Structure 1
Amino acid sequence: MLAVVAGALVSLGGPAAGSAAADTQAVALCPSSYLCFWSGPNFTGLQGRIAEGTSIPNWSFLPGADCPAGNWAGCAQSFYNNAAVCTAELWSGPNYSGSRISLPRGTALANPPATVRVHSNSWRC
């Protein structure tokens, strides 16, 4: 699955640079040292955040008002890693299981395929 997603990764070169005006504006809303995610593709919808270094084994415990199940499990459709140092690891299953997508700092995943749904995250520093 990672090969399918690789084309959707966009390096934004850090929080100040961007490839499109909408992307730059959206990632500007992501504070330094956070993984940010949105309920819609291309940084639309409600935003959620996880502080760098905070691993969440099950996103069903993260409330998400804009998500059908009321939590972020399988709901986030776009991501931006504004970490200071670490790579965000996004997992398709709870408890760091299933397929993994590595999102280096300063990198966005703006419109992943429908088959990519995140249920947990960890960090690699």
Structure 2
Amino acid sequence: MRFSTRIAAVASTVALAGGGMLATAGTAQAAKSDCPKTYLCSWATTNFSGLPGKVAYDNSNLRQYYKFANSRSMYNNGASCSVRVWAGTNYTGSSVVFKIGYQLHDTSNSVLRNGAGSNRWC
């Protein structure tokens, strides 16, 4: 009986410790560094928190992607050229050019304050 009680206590402790590790790992935050090379990335939060949405090609309708339609921060991690991002779909409305490495921590004071609509590289 005493042996079974010890095994149960050890098993409980291991389960709690393991559960604690899982909970800690799940709360880790993504960052700008989570934007892969050659991509334009967008976050639905300011300052690149959370997981980014990402595109690597021209898109006439970024509004179909939640993190671009609700963009609050953006980063061009492209390898060879700039990317122009328009507020409207089909390359319409105001736009901003993101040179390689350009980042926008908060879109609220830019032409992208209501999200990104389309993009074209180089």
Structure 1 and Structure 2 fold alike (TM over 0.5): yes
How far apart, CA to CA, are the structure 2 residues paired with 1:77 and 1:28? 17
Query: What's the offset of the Cα at 1:30?
Result: 0.9
Task: Pick 1 or 2: higher relative contact order, CA cutoff 8 A, min separation 6.
Answer: 1
Aligned-residue Cα RMSD (Å) equals 1.8
Structure with bigger helix share is 2
The aligned counterpart of 2:92 is 97
Segments of structure 1 that go 5 or more residues without pairing to the other structure are: 1-24
TM-score, reference length from structure 2: 0.66
One-letter amino acid of the counterpart of residue 116, structure 2: V
TM-score, reference length from structure 1: 0.65
One-letter amino acid of the counterpart of residue 119, structure 1: G
The aligned counterpart of 1:30 is 35
The aligned counterpart of 1:15 is none
SS in structure 2 at match of 1:95: helix
Specify the structure having the higher radius of gyration (Cα). Answer: 2
Count of residues in Structure 1 that have an aligned counterpart in Structure 2: 90
Segments of structure 2 that go 5 or more residues without pairing to the other structure are: 1-29
One-letter amino acid of the counterpart of residue 118, structure 2: S
Structure with bigger strand share is 1
